[in-house]
Amino acid sequence: MGIDAFTYEPLPGRVVFGAGSLDRLGEEIERLGVNKALVLSTPGQQSLAEDVALRIGARAAGVHAGAVMHVPIETARQARERAAAVGADACIAVGGGSTIGLGKAIALEFGLPIVAVPTTYAGSEMTPIWGVTEGGVKRTGRDPRVLPRVVVYDPLLTLALPPALSSVSAMNAVAHCIEGLYSETANPIASLMAEDGIRSMGKSLPRIVADPGDIGARTEALYGAWLGGSVLGAVGMAIHHKLCHTLGGTLNLPHAETHTAVLPHAAAYNRDAAPEAMARAARALGVMDAPEGLYDLAASLGARMALRDLGMREEDIDRVADLSVQNPYWNPRPVTREGVRALVSDAWHGHRPARR
């Protein structure tokens, strides 16, 4: 089989990876010429953010521990006001997708460079994709200004992430890889990263659940997260991400948990329309069928596999189906209301996506 024509645009940025990498944060800040960095976090990670501020000393402009899930516009405005008030010339986003998303909201307004210090496997740190929720609708877009200039990946920072959260955060990264394989803009480089990302997560996650302190497994999972984020930044996504943005922005469902519950069903929706992508995903997981393998992996890690267990009501199924077919993302299988409703219903019930 030959190689089809493709377009691939590597994104700029610097990655500092490895256990103990946080110790290099000061030199990275100095290298960027930053003088007043505002350190961002969620309220729960404020102590870590304060430690990061201490590490960079006089170059810290303070800590803003106001990040929350899905970046509500009110939260974004508060952070922008704080950045302006302290005269920040950069942001250091310490945490997961919520905090990095808040940094992007600031960068979108002021163009400040972001240094990302991920503590989860979300992958947002490798993308120029931003998202802000307003009026119950999550808007997303791409802008090179929001792509972090430096990403510091220190597996030691993920040791505090409980196994249950590690699992769903990592499945979120797997979702980037799965959709990258059947993306409209898929290319050989991104597909190599996607397949290796799936393989890394499939190998490391059971080890993390068995021994949360296994730094080797944590390192491999963070490597998989880097690959998943890189794929997300390099190619377009499809029905899975459209659904998860709708579920998150409209119903305020937990981000990573929603990705985990929806992913097997989104893969099943595209199973026959993207056979090569599903074969690569199955090979990476070491299974015969990718949708079944994704479900079994997540379930074996203790993840909740039904959207109803995440707070979604059955009467919301039709609402989500209606919203998801409005301005749908490209998808290898045509997006129909009937098909999407069946997908969401299966995810709401938590059915295993066996071949029919």
Instruction: Render pLDDT for 6-16 as a digit per residue (tens, 0 to 9).
Output: 888 888 899 99
| Residue 313, phi then psi, degrees to nearest 5 | -90, 150
Residue 355 scores a pLDDT above 80:
no
Residue 336 scores a pLDDT above 80:
yes
Nearest to 309 by CA among 164, 131, 137, 99: 164
Terminal Cα distance for the chain, rounded:
30
Same domain, 116 and 41: yes
Is residue 121 a part of any domain in this protein? yes
pTM: 0.93
**Residue that finishes a domain, picked among 140, 158, 176:** 158
CATH number of the domain that 296 lies in? Answer: 1.20.1090.10
Same domain, 21 and 86: yes
At residue 12's C-alpha, the angle toward residues 228 and 16, to 5°, is: 65
Is residue 3 a part of any domain in this protein? no
Using an 8 Å Cβ cutoff, are 166 and 29 in contact? Answer: no
Measured CA to CA, the distance from residue 181 to residue 305 in angstroms comes to 23
Same domain, 133 and 263: no
pLDDT for position 122: 86
pLDDT digits (tens, 9 = 90+) for 203-217: 999 999 999 999 999
For 261, half-sphere exposure in the C-beta direction (CA atoms, 13 angstrom radius) is 28
pLDDT digits (tens, 9 = 90+) for 39-94: 999 999 999 999 999 999 999 999 999 999 889 999 999 999 999 999 999 999 99
Stretch 327-349: mean pLDDT, rounded? 95
Same domain, 139 and 168: no
Is residue 18 a part of any domain in this protein? yes
**Residue that finishes a domain, picked among 139, 158, 177:** 158
Stretch 159-168: mean pLDDT, rounded? 95
Same domain, 203 and 329: yes
User: Residue 100: left if φ>0, alpha if ψ -120 to 50, beta else—which one?
Assistant: alpha
Stretch 139-155: mean pLDDT, rounded? 95
Give the amino acid at 166: S
pLDDT for position 1: 53
CATH number of the domain that 108 lies in? Answer: 3.40.50.1970
pLDDT digits (tens, 9 = 90+) for 244-297: 989 988 898 998 999 999 999 999 999 999 999 999 999 999 999 999 999 999
Stretch 152-167: mean pLDDT, rounded? 96
**Residue that finishes a domain, picked among 133, 158, 183:** 158
**DSSP 8-state symbol, 351:** -
Q: Which domain holds residue 101?
A: 14-158
Average pLDDT of the chain, as a whole number? 95
85: CB partners within 8 A, 6+ apart: none
pLDDT for position 354: 79
pLDDT for position 6: 86
126 band by pLDDT with thresholds 50, 70 and 90: very high
Domain count of the chain? 2
DSSP result, 136-203: TEEEEEE-GGGS-SEEEE-GGGGTTS-HHHHHHHHHHHHHHHHHHHT-TT--HHHHHHHHHHHHHHHH
| Residue 16, phi then psi, degrees to nearest 5 | -115, 110
pLDDT for position 356: 59
The H or E element spanning position 120 is: none
Same domain, 191 and 326: yes
pLDDT for position 137: 82
The H or E element spanning position 116 is: strand 114-118
Residue 194 scores a pLDDT above 80:
yes
